[in-house]
């Protein structure tokens, strides 16, 4: 039975990261898979092989070198992070397939809130929306740094770490946040890549509602049996603890 749990908000990144490592180290073959839903205090995180030059101007926001894959991203208020602590061997999932399912969970969540057209980009992990979806005050770019020169906006980032067949870290979805800190980095290593959030694309939804829907989609796509009261991909039922 998989468990979905909200952590206290705002959550310190380093504290949650250490808790994920401790959980993964201590788990046994019988340990339930768990999804932690988190809203972080402002922080930049740099992946294990991330290049420091992609941090352009951190200002007063701390930068944490972490052990996930990927380059640099930003976490902060108004963004929900789903940390999926999953035994991939037990679930019969390969890493590439698991990453694809994480992305699909975000795509399905966005579609469920009336934002179709979200998609992947080969070679650029995460989830993107067309520039035409942006309704915010700042204009969307007419060209972009993604393969093919696409001007898509990044709305969800992901990065995982797998140790002894068990995954941790996960997926971050921008709900309704101050996007200015993304200007201080090359998001995910792409110079000039613009970030978007659901609110800027015309979707008004609460962080808790979005987080629970995202967790439900993750459970469904990973083939995990949910515990009683866990959220569903098409609806919400869990509450913060």
Residues identified as active-site = 188
Query: DSSP letters of 10-56?
Result: SBPHHHHHHHHHHHHHH--TTPPPEEEEE-BPSEEEE-TT--GGGB-
Nearest-angstrom CA–CA distance, 70 and 170: 11
State the residue for tokens 């991203």.
Answer: 73
59: left (phi over 0), alpha (psi -120 to 50) or beta: left
Tell me how far apart the alpha carbons of residues 154 and 129 are, in angstroms, rounded to a whole number.
Answer: 6
Q: Are 103 and 120 in contact (CB under 8 A)?
A: yes
Going by C-alpha positions, the residue among 115, 177, 120 that lies closest to residue 154 is 120
For helices 207-221 and 95-112, the axis angle rounded to 10 degrees is 140
Q: Where are the beta strands (DSSP E) in 59-216?
A: 63-65, 72-75, 79-87, 119-121, 124-129, 153-163, 166-174
């Amino acid at each position: 039975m998989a468990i979905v749990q909200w952590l206290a908000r705002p959550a310190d990144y380093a504290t949650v990261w250490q808790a994920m490592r401790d959980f993964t180290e201590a788990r046994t073959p019988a340990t339930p898979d768990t999804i932690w839903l988190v809203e972080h205090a402002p922080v930049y995180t740099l992946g294990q092989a991330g290049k420091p030059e992609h941090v352009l101007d951190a200002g007063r926001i701390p930068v944490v070198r972490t052990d996930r894959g990927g380059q640099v991203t930003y976490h902060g208020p108004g963004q929900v992070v789903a940390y999926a602590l999953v035994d991939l061997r037990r679930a019969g999932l390969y890493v590439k397939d698991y990453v694809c399912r994480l992305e699909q969970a975000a795509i399905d969540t966005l579609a469920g809130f009336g934002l179709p057209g979200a998609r992947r980009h080969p070679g650029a992990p995460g989830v993107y929306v067309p520039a035409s979806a942006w309704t915010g005050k700042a204009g969307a770019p007419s060209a972009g740094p993604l393969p093919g020169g696409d001007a898509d906006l990044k709305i969800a980032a992901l990065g995982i770490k797998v140790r002894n067949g068990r995954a941790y870290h996960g997926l971050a979805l921008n709900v309704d946040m101050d996007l200015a800190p993304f200007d201080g980095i090359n998001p995910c290593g792409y110079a000039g890549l613009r970030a978007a959030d659901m609110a800027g694309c015309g979707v008004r939804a609460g962080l808790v509602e979005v987080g629970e829907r995202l967790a439900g989609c993750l459970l469904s796509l990973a083939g995990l049996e949910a515990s009683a009261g866990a959220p569903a991909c098409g609806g919400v039922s869990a509450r913060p603890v």
